């Protein structure tokens, strides 16, 4: 059997350009509804175009199908986490956990400082747990509710939440991406984190200033009377008590103890159902709406429904019902469809060598050190768009550019920093990327709606590019090598 032919640059560009053109048409025809089916069709068609080119180049369909299955399998952890988060939102709403967070948030947070405060709160939580997803799925959901209660923009609030969550995730030694980036680049964890401070600290500071400036210009929005009415409605519908916050404490404790995200969030969802039975029995019985069943069976049905289809509030107060009718595993199915379609497209491009061909073309144009850093950043962003997965956007450029960094006398920690500045942080900015799809589904705000306000994630890659072009904080191998880096070099 003959070896498959290497794809030309034109071969590699055709599926990508087709994807861009069809996505543009999808948004034009369907607007904000494009993520609820049309974009999934676009990604499937783009994958088919890539597969046709790959088959013409000699790749058998059986190998492409195997690559698609393998690619989709890598997203299964994200899919299961998404389902668990859907269940968690449903039970935490019914348990009074989210309503209590909203109630206390409305009492504590002022509209003027809300965006900056939300960013800092999420940053601290993510730094402690190492997981932006856990923070968004717990605190993030409540903070969106607080923002709506205060009459603030959910899109800007989502931007603040994601900015803070990704700052903490990026700088936490507990984060998987923070461990992955130095591993593929050839440096150690704490050298990587120390080097990231140079780009991360100013980027986060600028983001906080922007959120503060936006907040200072915010109108009070909801009046004192309407805020009081909202709190009264929450208090009437639920048993608002600090005990309702126990599921949040348990989830954060498990995350801090390095329990993997999936069992942590799934346990949080189930524990939320138990807390609902203890603290909100009347709410659970009313939600189940099954007078023919015994109370025990009816409450079991209520928790079951919240896990599967989410909680539906029926207080009669429109603002509260809109705020608290969310969640359920079924609410994540469209997002999962988007992820599966995107992973199939990325898998065909990677298997057929088209993704590698695009990176090689970009590398050939990087003549200077500055242009090399910009090329890495653009490659990471491009892979987040094309392959739809932040791990691929870290691993592939890390492998591809490692030798080039060594050849040009650049320390590995420069590469680990730049791939995390761009690969990790731009992943939630792509609607069909696993991270972008997760954030949109969890926070209830479309990716393109919150994208302009995710200031930290937008600024950090730009700061990283400026450092690369100017040479600021870029260290070379002929400079003094730390003991940590020397040890890593020996071990490899």
Confidence band of 51 (pLDDT split at 50, 70, 90): very high
**pLDDT tens per residue, range 296-325:** 999 999 999 999 999 998 887 777 888 888
**Could you tell me the residue ranges of all domains in the chain?**
77-331
363 vs 486, residue with greater confidence: 363
Question: Which residues, 6 or more positions from 244, have their beta carbon under 8 angstroms from its beta carbon?
Answer: 95, 96, 97, 99, 100, 238, 275, 279
* Alpha-carbon span 18 to 16, nearest angstrom: 5
**pLDDT tens per residue, range 411-465:** 999 999 999 999 999 999 999 898 999 999 999 999 999 999 999 999 999 999 9
Predicted TM-score of the model (pTM): 0.83
* Alpha-carbon span 445 to 156, nearest angstrom: 10
What is the structure's pLDDT at 24? 85
* Alpha-carbon span 307 to 426, nearest angstrom: 31
How many helices (H) and strands (E) the chain has is answered by: 26, 0
Which region holds residue 186: left if phi is over 0, alpha if psi is between -120 and 50, else beta?
left
Per-residue pLDDT for 52 more than 90? yes
Q: What number of residues does the chain have?
A: 492
């Amino acid at each position: 059997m003959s070896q498959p032919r290497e794809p030309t640059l034109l071969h590699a560009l055709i599926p990508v350009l087709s994807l861009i053109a069809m996505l543009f048409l999808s948004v034009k025809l369907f607007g904000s509804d494009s993520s609820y089916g049309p974009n999934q069709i676009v990604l499937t068609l783009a994958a088919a175009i890539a597969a046709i080119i790959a088959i013409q180049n000699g790749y058998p369909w059986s190998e492409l199908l195997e690559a698609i299955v393998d690619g989709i399998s890598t997203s299964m952890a994200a899919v299961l986490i998404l389902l668990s988060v859907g269940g968690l939102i449903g039970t935490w709403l019914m348990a009074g956990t989210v309503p209590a967070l909203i109630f206390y948030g409305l009492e504590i947070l002022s509209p003027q400082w809300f965006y900056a405060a939300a960013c800092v709160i999420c940053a601290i939580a993510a730094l402690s747990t190492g997981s932006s997803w856990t923070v968004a799925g717990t605190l993030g959901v409540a903070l969106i509710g607080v923002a709506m209660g205060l009459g603030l923009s959910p899109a800007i609030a989502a931007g603040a939440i994601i900015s803070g969550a990704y700052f903490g995730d990026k700088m936490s030694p507990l984060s998987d991406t923070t461990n992955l980036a130095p591993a593929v680049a050839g440096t150690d964890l704490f050298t990587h984190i120390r080097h990231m401070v140079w780009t991360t600290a100013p980027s986060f500071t600028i983001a906080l200033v922007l959120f503060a400036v936006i907040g200072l210009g915010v109108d009070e929005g909801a009046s004192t009377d309407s805020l009081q009415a909202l709190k009264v409605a929450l208090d009437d519908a639920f048993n608002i008590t600090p005990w309702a916050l126990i599921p949040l404490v348990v989830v954060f404790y498990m995350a801090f103890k390095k329990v993997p995200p999936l069992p942590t969030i799934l346990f949080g969802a189930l524990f939320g159902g138990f807390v609902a039975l203890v603290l909100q029995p009347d709410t659970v019985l009313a939600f189940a709406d099954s007078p023919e069943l015994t109370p025990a069976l009816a409450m079991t049905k209520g928790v079951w429904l919240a896990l599967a289809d989410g909680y539906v509030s029926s207080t009669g107060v429109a603002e509260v019902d809109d705020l608290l009718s969310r969640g359920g595993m079924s609410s994540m199915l469209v997002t999962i469809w988007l992820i599966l379609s995107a992973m199939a497209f990325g898998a065909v491009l990677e298997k057929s060598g088209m993704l590698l061909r695009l990176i090689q073309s970009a590398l050939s144009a990087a003549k200077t050190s500055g242009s090399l850093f910009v090329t890495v950043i653009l490659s990471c962003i491009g892979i987040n768009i094309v392959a739809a997965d932040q791990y691929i956007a870290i691993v592939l450029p890390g492998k591809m550019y490692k030798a080039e960094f060594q050849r040009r006398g650049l320390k590995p920690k420069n590469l680990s920093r730049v791939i995390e500045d761009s690969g990790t942080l731009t992943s939630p900015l792509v609607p069909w990327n696993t991270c972008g799809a997760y954030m949109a589904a969890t926070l209830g705000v479309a990716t393109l709606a919150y994208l302009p306000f995710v200031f930290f994630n937008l600024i950090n890659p730009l700061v990283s590019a400026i450092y690369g072009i100017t040479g600021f904080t870029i260290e070379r191998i002929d400079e003094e090598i730390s003991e940590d880096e020397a040890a890593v070099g020996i071990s490899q």
